[in-house]
Chain A
Amino acid sequence: MLNNVLTLTNLTKYYGKILALNNVSFSVPEGSVFGILGPNGSGKTTMLGIVMDILKPTSGSFTFYGQPGHANMRKQIGTLLETPNFYHYLSGERNLQIAAEIKGKGHDQVDEVLKKVDLLERKTSKFSTYSLGMKQRLAIASALLGGPKVLVFDEPTNGLDPVGISEIRTLIQRLALEGKTIIMASHMLDEVEKVCTHVAILKRGNLLTAGDVDEILVNDEIVEVSAANSLLLATVLKEMSGYNNIKQVDNDFHLLYPPAKADLEAINRYCFKKGVVLTYLRLKKKSLETKFLELTNQ
């Protein structure tokens, strides 16, 4: 049976009169890569801040493995929240030693995690001399200290270059394979789609939906076709069945299919039989971006 690592119950948070989190409840199952998706200011960091006890909820509660939140519980969780927070005047290495000491772990792991994020050579440089990407990587290294079973990442690829982003993605996927539970907040849709098994979508503090990523971010398919004679193509396509919707974009036609229902071969054969030779035929996944905008514009 799957245990829930984290369960939120009716979490509500007001900043003065501003409602940042409205009655949010969901559970994160053990072993999942749980994406929390939402535009900027949707309450992702507020929610994680409450879970980490740096913000106090106005009402509602949360549990870790069925227990109310507690400092010792946080020692077992690797967390990167919002921005990398380190002592500017200390080296990366010394900063991690402090984190390891607080977590009650030995200093011997410091080099190991620094190596994982490729910072070993700069470990004696002061934190203030690091680039944005290096700071972010140091924060990820700090979260990895002590090999926690649960990791919380808030915008983990913030400030990283494309190589760094893909490295972090690989790292997260590898951690997930090791059986770790990963909770990741992000406004980057492809990031969530590529690595997450579960997703919760927040908008202005409201939970729109939460659950399996395959169920929530189902991708509709779009088939783009065009032919020399667009008029004829239009009539032929209108007689064809199977798609939900048809749209003309310049000389192309976009056919909207439900997920995994588009069959390019059948379309091509059908048109040829009706006397239209296609000059262009392409299957496109409906972009997540569109899907996300649809979801959040409800």
Chain B
Amino acid sequence: MLSLLKIEWMKVKHYRTFWLLSLLYLISLYGINFIAYRIQDARPKKNDMANLLIGNPPFQFPEVWKTVSYMSSFMLFIPGLLIIISLTNEFSFKTHRQNIIDGWSRHEFIVVKMLLTLILAVVSTVAVFITAICFGLFEGGSDFSIENIEFIGYFFVQAISCTAVGLLFGLLFKRSGIAIGVFFLYVVVLENMLAGLLNKYVYNSGRFLPLETTDNLIPFPFLRNIVNPYLTVTDPLLLLVLSAVYLTIYYFICLKKFEVEDL
């Protein structure tokens, strides 16, 4: 396993696009939280009525775990994009063929890419964890607390779903342009649109669509006291189980497709 990862590392080590995007991604994780921070920071802090409506300040412990996980999840299309690039590059250079010819099994090739989805999700999660601690400590007003830290775990589930879907789209569409285009449209618009329709007409079932499922693990963190009564709360355990089912399906399709079809 380690030797497989070493080879994947050799492929990516000198690939500038990958590192540039990764760097900008990490900066943006901080950046998107900073934007949210600036907006909520403009609230009237000494007004009791306002505080009652808003609830605990979103960037204080323990709320900060929820807030940073939620905000950062908007950036998750980037690791998905990185996976798509990594896979479709192989297709356009035909190096997926060459790796097999040189002596990898088809299984090994696709398993390394799956490992890459895991690694990107883990790295993203660690970055979000650190970002949350930084914002929590910077905001002050409360002691460090690990209450609500499960949201970092939920973020990980959401991250790996995104990278796994990226892998699946890369494998289905093979060419980077179309794969990236469809991936973005699906993640940003199409699934939300479909979820909205299903939620309205089919017993609120849109929330169980693949990415909605993981998305709903981390509910909207702001203005809790106002929005809470109107949100359908779904049992996180149910969502986690469903996420696991979806992940299994993504990986199963990737494995089968790559092992059976002509390359």
Question: Measured between alpha carbons, how far is A61 from B71 in the docked complex, in Å?
Answer: 54
Q: Is the CB of A97 within 8 A of B97?
A: no
List, in ascending order, chain A residues with CB within 8 A of B104's CB.
71, 102
Q: Is the CB of A74 within 8 A of B98?
A: no
Q: Is the CB of A54 within 8 A of B97?
A: yes
CB distance from A128 to the nearest CB of B (A): 10
CB distance from A156 to the nearest CB of B (A): 15
List, in ascending order, chain B residues with CB within 8 A of A54's CB.
97, 100-101, 262-263
Interface membership of chain B positions 78-110, coded 1 if the CB is closer than 8 angstroms to chain A and 0 otherwise: 000000000001000111011111111110100
Q: Is the CB of B14 within 8 A of A81?
A: no
Q: Is the CB of A94 within 8 A of B260?
A: no
Across the interface, B93 reaches (CB within 8 A) one of A52, A75, A86, A102, namely A86
Q: Is the CB of A79 within 8 A of B10?
A: no
Across the interface, A99 reaches (CB within 8 A) one of B3, B6, B16, B98, namely B98
Q: Is the CB of B99 within 8 A of A102?
A: yes
Q: Is the CB of A71 within 8 A of B103?
A: yes
List, in ascending order, chain B residues with CB within 8 A of A166's CB.
none
CB distance from B172 to the nearest CB of A (A): 18
Q: Is the CB of B11 within 8 A of A56?
A: no
Given contacts A55-B262, A83-B94, contact A94 B10 (CB under 8 A): yes
Across the interface, B10 reaches (CB within 8 A) one of A52, A55, A98, A142, namely A98
Interface residues on B, range: 20 to 34
Cβ of A272 < 8 Å from any Cβ of B?
A: no
Q: Is the CB of A74 within 8 A of B11?
A: no
Q: Is the CB of B100 within 8 A of A53?
A: yes
List, in ascending order, chain B residues with CB within 8 A of A79's CB.
101-102
Question: Measured between alpha carbons, how far is A35 from B245 in the docked complex, in Å?
Answer: 51
Q: Is the CB of B98 within 8 A of A85?
A: yes
Question: Measured between alpha carbons, how far is A103 from B94 in the docked complex, in Å?
Answer: 18
Which residues of chain A in 79-104 are interfacial with respect to chain B, using CB atoms and an 8 Å cutoff?
79, 81, 83, 85-90, 94, 97-99, 101-104
List, in ascending order, chain B residues with CB within 8 A of A86's CB.
93, 95, 98
Count of chain A residues with a beta carbon within 8 Å of a chain B beta carbon: 29
Which residues of chain B in 207-263 are interfacial with respect to chain A, using CB atoms and an 8 Å cutoff?
260-263
Q: Is the CB of B262 within 8 A of A74?
A: no
Across the interface, A75 reaches (CB within 8 A) one of B89, B97, B102, B260, namely B102
Q: Give the most central of B16, B17, B262: most A CB within 10 Å.
A: B262
Cβ of A298 < 8 Å from any Cβ of B?
A: no
Cβ of A72 < 8 Å from any Cβ of B?
A: yes
Cβ of B7 < 8 Å from any Cβ of A?
A: yes
Question: Measured between alpha carbons, how far is A98 from B6 in the docked complex, in Å?
Answer: 9
Question: Measured between alpha carbons, how far is A98 from B260 in the docked complex, in Å?
Answer: 25
Question: Measured between alpha carbons, how far is A54 from B103 in the docked complex, in Å?
Answer: 11
Which residues of chain B in 1-53 are interfacial with respect to chain A, using CB atoms and an 8 Å cutoff?
3, 6-7, 10-11, 14-17
Seed contacts A86-B93, A94-B10; 6 additional CB < 8 Å A-B pairs = A55-B262, A85-B94, A89-B14, A99-B102, A103-B103, A104-B103
The 24 sampled A-B contact pairs (Cβ below 8 Å) are A53-B100, A54-B101, A55-B263, A56-B260, A56-B261, A56-B262, A71-B100, A71-B108, A72-B103, A74-B100, A81-B101, A86-B93, A87-B11, A87-B15, A87-B89, A88-B93, A89-B15, A90-B15, A98-B10, A99-B98, A102-B7, A102-B103, A102-B104, A104-B103
Interface residues of B (CB under 8 A from A): 3, 6-7, 10-11, 14-17, 89, 93-95, 97-106, 108, 260-263
Interface residues of A (CB under 8 A from B): 49, 52-56, 70-72, 74-75, 79, 81, 83, 85-90, 94, 97-99, 101-104, 142
- Please provide the 3 A-B residue pairs with the shortest distance between their CB atoms, ordered closest to farther: A75-B103, A85-B98, A71-B105
